[in-house]
Structure 1
């Protein structure tokens, strides 16, 4: 067995581990061990567990190798990019940290028994996939694409190419010999068949571990095919989903923005950043901007087009919708191109009006005509009057109803404002994914005694709902079963929802859906205790005895129950579920 003095991984092992290392690498790779393929052999630990079971201690070594090789594989460029993202001047919380704390980033330690949440790859994918005319190619195992495809209902007014899942679907041989050639062939096939304006290539954990140079492949493909092929370097092990959002934004900044010029510009051009057009929410606000003559030069990334994003550096104002995901785009565009930005919200009547005023004010400061301010106020007055008139019907029914809001980010405060306008009482709002600015806005809206929930377990959530401290819960799909178990109405407020809640039209739709959920007759039905349960047994027996004839009084209880159910009016029939 040859000695490899240059292999720090190999030299750091004990004698028995070294033998196992060589044995495993030769078994998986089917060739003599070489330092050049050390990382590729180690990547097989995640894909070939059956191989390691044959070796004493193989599973333990495989588990350790996962963490060891993550440190070796994190390239200098990726480490530098992550460090730059963590040093974010637009985040007050980040700037308040020491240099050591800043390097650690915003990653929270995982607690046993809780879900880990999305990875960095998932964050980059969901941030960029709403660019609708781009081919999104995942370089990795097929499961990475399958688990991330269309996990947001981002709507498109044109191309549907973004809804086609592309993956290189690498296998064991690619892990050993490298997947760069397969990636190049995949890019060529996509361009020949679909002719997109650009291809986004997403790095995953496995392809990062085996050392595929995605940036070099993308550069070569761009030169050969004459189409922009953009590397998105955000492997899952780099960090959580929020970091992936920002790394996706870095790819846009480094390779897309500023590479094209718009056909024409106007004094009213703006960019909307961090808006994903969930269920078509952007289309509820765009008509308002159109009425004022304001043009959305680019939306990053909901219903976006590659050429629009590439020419977005010519906008006059940037609006930041979700600062936690893409604040780095807004701050760097301000430094590079002098574009001012602000954070606004499309949720709720008051916030929508404030957003329109802020856009108009910044555009006037950037050189737009002064009459824009007056026209904006006229539009706001007309739209607010129409929205309040439509909400009045629901407000009388909803005033005083208690809402538990389990969401995060910008929705933790923007939806609160919208609900309060409808007369609803907020008993708690989740701030698990909210920034310091988000929390400050919650206090501004709800007061200093606002009940902000940083982390609530399903058991605590269930106890709160069961004790009737809330009349309805608004959350994502992962929490819906807690509400249903407590027999409490539930409404989807997260990205999986099927109804748009943006703009003046959106708040009316939100109030309408809450009213439908709370007053659905099914809740009154399922809350009636079943006669065979502990809490309904006495009622069932009494009704059975009252309905049973004297001649059959000595017979079994089953007959009495059947007769009782037959004699009971339909309106008081017990529910079948608990």
Structure 2
């Protein structure tokens, strides 16, 4: 039997490249398993989120049908892939009671044969789940034999839900890609400005907001892990000159190991808001180390910021004195806060429930000492709205009812959102959505008394 062992889990939970690892006591980790955690986002869910944007790969869930049904297409990760987008379909081995008793390896083998014959993907990601991991199916050997038989990478992803939460699942996905894909193919050509984007899933097309700036600077994205990604490109990622982590510190293990193996430096950035987008561009060109490129980037930043400031001036006047509560997850606890602050809105509270230690530190930095970091946002947000006099709540769809009860404006900023807020232009999109939300009368009227009840 081959599966994720305890040593691997311990390594991923205590990442040496994480700035907070040195502060942890022995045995502590960033993402330790908790009873019942699978109900709120498990390792399997995190692994799928990280790999699902590879539209040219088939994502085969080795487990009961319900594992697929509860996780399929969880985010609107856009793709420019011109071939058959396999993410529009769900693939599962659909193991039964008999497979639990006698083993599901043969069913997995047959499923791989069927997928290759009928869909001809560039690769197959095979996800272990709680049931198949507990039974002990040897997906490593089955995937290896399937890859040799068909000449297609068949990648085992050892992220059963019980090992931990979403962040750990993302790290396990990175381990699978590093072990089975990266370094297995050479690019047709290289440039001195080749970079890899790590951790941007291109939700609502965020990547496409800042990619044009790369093109203006002559920076080429060699590979992406994994927004709008291609299997063939990620196999060549070892030839990049710089790894760029975009709002996803859960994948820091991947870039650390790529640095150790191929001497590729890395930077961590965000493209939400004016300040962070400018900082990101400067970090990237500094990481590439070309003085001519750095000078060119400064000219581009000056041009883009001047255009942005002109476009945002009327919005900033409109938003003067407005206060916001932000209830979202992970890096968005601080990245969206940065964008709101760039628009002149005071962020009085943000949720840190699903954030890493690095994210929490940044959230504190952005909100200041008076800002509220909500570790139990569902229970806290109503009270914070009242105490801080917030005018708008930015959260996931489930928090809409809180905004309605409190008669304040609301915007859905989680993965269900339909508009991109990335890059300079994304900040204009955010400003327009805020304008519409503040002008929407429904939040004040929905809980008002009926005309015959007044008086």
TM-score, L = length of structure 2: 0.95
Determine the C-alpha separation between the residues in 2 that align with 1:445 and 1:466: 22
Q: Distance in 2 between matches of 1:154 and 1:76?
A: 29
Contact 1:78 1:233 in 2 (8 A): no
**Contact 1:87–1:95 (Cα < 8 Å) also in 2:** no
Match of 1:302 among 227, 230, 253: 227
Of residues 3, 9, 12, the one that matches 1:85 is 12
SS in 1 for 2:98: helix
What secondary structure is seen at the aligned counterpart in 2 of 1:106? coil
The 1-side partners of 2:151 and 2:79 are apart by 26
1:489 to 385, 403, 409: 409
**Residue 191 of structure 2 is aligned to residue 271 of structure 1:** no
Contact in 2 for aligned 1:490/1:517 (Cα 8 Å): yes
SS in 1 for 2:225: strand
What is the CA-CA distance between 1:433 and the residue it aligns to? 2.3
Pair 1:194 & 2:119 matched: yes
Q: Over residues 148-187 of structure 1, what are the superposed CA-to-partner deviations in whole Å (9 max), with x where a residue is unaligned?
A: 1111010000142222211111112222222111111111
Give unpaired runs (5+ residues) of structure 1. 1-72, 540-578
Pairing partner for 1:325 from 246, 250, 258: 250
Relative to 1, partners in 2 of residues 1:79 and 1:255: Cα closer, same or farther, differing over 3 Å? same
Structure-1 separation of matches of 2:4 and 2:347: 45
User: Is residue 179 from structure 1 mapped to residue 104 from structure 2 by the alignment?
Assistant: yes
Contact 1:110-1:116 at 8 Å conserved across structures: no
Q: Report the Cα distance in structure 2 between the residues aligned to 1:304 and 1:484, rounded to whole angstroms.
A: 39
Q: Alpha carbons of 1:406 and 1:108: their partners in 2 closer, same or farther (altered >3 Å)?
A: farther
* Residue 336 of structure 1, CA deviation: 1.1
Give, in whole Å, the separation in 1 of the partners of 2:231 and 2:49. Answer: 16
CA 468–428 in structure 1, closer or farther in 2 if over 3 Å, else same: closer
2:375 pairs with 431, 454, 463, which one? Answer: 454
Q: Specify which of 435, 438, 443 is matched with residue 518 of structure 1.
A: 438
What is the CA deviation profile of residues 286-306 of structure 1, one whole-angstrom value per residue up to 9, with x for unaligned ones? 001001000011111100000
Q: CA deviation at 1:110?
A: 5.7
The count of aligned residue pairs is 453
SS of corresponding position for 1:99: coil
Name the CA shift for 1:523/1:468 in 2 (closer, same or farther; >3 Å).
farther
Match of 1:285 in 2: 210
- Of 314, 317, 320, the residue aligned with 1:399 is 320
Task: Give the alignment of 1:200-349 within 5 angstroms.
Answer: 200-349=125-274
The structural deviation recorded for 1:115 is 9.0
State the secondary structure of the residue aligned to 1:199.
strand
- Give the counterpart of 2:279 among 335, 347, 354: 354
Q: Is the 8 A contact 1:324 1:434 kept in 2?
A: no
1:51-90 alignment, distance < 5 Å: 77-90=4-17
Q: Distance in 1 between matches of 2:145 and 2:35?
A: 40
Q: Distance in 2 between matches of 1:498 and 1:204?
A: 30
Distance in 2 between the 1:264 and 1:463 partners?
57
1:483 shift after superposition: 2.0
Q: Per the alignment, do residues 254 and 130 of structure 1 end up closer, same or farther by CA in structure 2, a change over 3 Å counting?
A: same
Give the 3-state SS of the residue equivalent to 1:389 in structure 2.
helix
**Aligned partner of residue 148 in structure 1, secondary structure:** coil
Contact 2:397 / 2:412 at 8 angstroms: preserved in 1?
A: yes
Q: CA deviation at 1:468?
A: 7.2
- Aligned CA RMSD, in angstroms, stands at 2.0
- What is the rounded CA distance, in whole Å, between the counterparts of 2:92 and 2:205 in structure 1? 27
**Higher mean displacement: 301-310 or 390-399:** 390-399
Residues 4, 158 of structure 2: 8 Å contact kept:
no
1:385 to 298, 301, 306: 306
Query: Cα 1:440–1:480, aligned 2, differ >3 Å: closer, same or farther?
Result: same
Within 5 A, what are the aligned runs for 1:111-190? 116-158=39-81, 159=83, 160-190=85-115
Contact kept? 2:327, 2:351, Cα under 8 Å: yes
Aligned with 2:31 (options 92, 106, 123): 106
Query: Scaled by the length of structure 1, what TM-score is found?
Result: 0.75
Query: Any idea what SS the aligned residue of 2:7 has?
Result: helix
CA contact (8 A) 2:404 2:444 kept: no
Cα deviation per residue 1:364-387 (whole Å; 9 max; x = unaligned)? 2xxx4x211111011111111111
Partner of 2:362: 441
Residue of structure 2 equivalent to 1:46: none
| C-alpha contact (below 8 Å) 1:465/1:483 kept by paired residues | no
Secondary structure of the corresponding residue to residue 251 of structure 1: helix
- Do residues 474 (structure 1) and 394 (structure 2) align? yes
Q: Distance in 2 between matches of 1:149 and 1:404?
A: 30
CA deviation after TM superposition for structure 1 residue 215, in Å: 0.5
Partners of 2:175 and 2:48 lie apart in 1 by 13
Instruction: Describe the superposition over 1:185-243 as per-residue Cα deviations: whole angstroms up to 9, x where unpaired.
Output: 11111111111111000011111122111111001101111111000011111111211
- Aligned residue for 1:145, secondary structure, equals helix
Aligned to 1:529: 449
Helix, strand or coil at the partner of 2:40: coil
Greater relative CO (CA pairs within 8 A, separation 6+): 2
Change (3 A) 1:376 1:131: same
